[in-house]
Amino acid sequence: MTPTAEMTDSSAPSAQSVSPACDLHSIDSSTTDLELVEEVLAGHFRRHATILQQVGPELTPAIDVVSARIGGGKRLRASFCLWGARGAADGRTVPGIVEMAAAIELFHLAALVHDDVMDDSDVRRGLPTVHRHFADDHARAQRRGDAERHGTAVAILVGDMCLSWSDDLAAAAADDVTPDVRRAVRDTWSTMRDEAYGGQYLDMLSQTEETTDADRTARILRYKSARYTIGQPLRLGGTLAGAPADLLEAYDRIGLTAGEAFQLRDDILGVFGDEKVTGKPAIDDLREGKRTMLIAAAEESAGRMERRVMADCLGNPELDADGAARMREVLHSTGAVERVEQRIVDLAEEALGIVAGAPMDSHSRCALTALIERCVWRRA
């Protein structure tokens, strides 16, 4: 594969070693499905917004905040879900799959709203985070009570609403399938949620400790990101389509390999990304003290002075641009960036090999190949 414009500036030259694959335009055949996902999301939200509006006009600010955030995004999880179904159905559209893909995106929106509260992030996708929006609005209006607590409370409520709405859509997606398929879909949906919650808890726990636990970091990567972003969306789509066991097993393997590569790219973007492209400050992960594979790789090779820089900067809520620059230097000088980039290349090769041998039609195989490339070499 030749890296595309999705590649970051920090990508390793060895990325050229990945085999040629489909161009990114090959995913365009899912455009109609993704447009339908947007329509389902918008219609589902409108129905709930109407009920909220009937409660009283005071709900309008909350409705507006969700409305501004429910559209857009990369829709990677929805795309993997859609192609997971098509891959199991010889490229055909599967009834209920659009609703399932939309449900995953609503669940993800809920997770982002809550994650921003936990990480105390101020910006998401170029907009103020939900808790920051309502805290600032509270302060501007000079209302009674603590503005920060109010913003947090509203964000928790907004996230809960999106979470419950996602469950409604997931249930609707399996309305017209056999009882056995319905149970399998619901089991997969439930497992996806529990794994994401568990991974998030481990992530929060890791930020309370002075050093990186390599085993825990690997489990965070697997459950909070790899399976949640790629593996479970593929499996949900495949299960809804009645996929055979060997294809579901391939989807799981694709999820673990491509999903890890996705998160490793995310870790690099979290420190080296362009805020104008990512929509999130590249200093947040350092301030929060996220114990990523990138940090673990740096700790393994860091000398005394490099460890001192990491101790001073990582997890420091007052970290400034100069401190962040020192951390970036350490990540390069220890070889952490180079090793993580090489790991991404190796994982991408493995994932693409699994896709090449998976029992699916050529069109779905080409689309999944392009989606994996998009995940691995993206800039946001």
pTM of the full structure: 0.88
The neighbouring-strand residues paired with 127 are 124
Nearest to 266 by CA among 253, 280, 256, 255: 280
The neighbouring-strand residues paired with 124 are 127
Q: How far apart are CA 101 and CA 78, in angstroms?
A: 4
Phi, psi of 335 (to 5 degrees): 80, 10
Tell me: pLDDT of 369 over 70.
yes
pLDDT, mean of residues 359-372: 95
Q: Is the CA virtual torsion 133, 228, 257, 238 positive or negative?
A: negative
Give me the pLDDT at residue 22, please.
41
- What pLDDT digit, counting tens, does each position of 30-85 carry? 447 899 999 999 999 999 999 999 999 999 999 999 999 998 788 999 999 999 99
- Type and span of the H or E element at 127: strand 127-128
Q: Is the CA virtual torsion 255, 260, 263, 268 positive or negative?
A: negative
Tell me: pLDDT of 179 over 80.
yes
Q: How far apart are CA 248 and CA 285, in angstroms?
A: 34
Tell me: pLDDT of 278 over 90.
no
Phi, psi of 128 (to 5 degrees): -60, 140
Q: What's the whole-number average pLDDT of the chain? A: 89
Give me the pLDDT at residue 73, please.
82
Give me the pLDDT at residue 277, please.
84
Give me the pLDDT at residue 14, please.
36
User: What count of residues does the chain have?
Assistant: 380
Nearest to 87 by CA among 254, 261, 260: 254
Q: How far apart are CA 247 and CA 227, in angstroms?
A: 16
Give me the pLDDT at residue 225, please.
87
Tell me: pLDDT of 8 over 90.
no
Give me the pLDDT at residue 165, please.
97
Q: Can you name the CATH fold of 13-376? A: Farnesyl Diphosphate Synthase (1.10.600)
Q: Please classify residue 30 by burial: count the beta carbons closer than 10 Å to its beta carbon, then call 0-12 exposed, 13-18 middle and 19+ buried.
A: buried
Mean pLDDT highest for which of 13-17, 84-88, 222-226, 376-380?
84-88
DSSP states along 286-297: HHHT---HHHHH
- What pLDDT digit, counting tens, does each position of 183-240 carry? 999 999 999 999 999 999 999 998 888 777 888 988 998 998 899 999 999 999 999 9
Q: Is the CA virtual torsion 115, 121, 122, 126 positive or negative?
A: negative
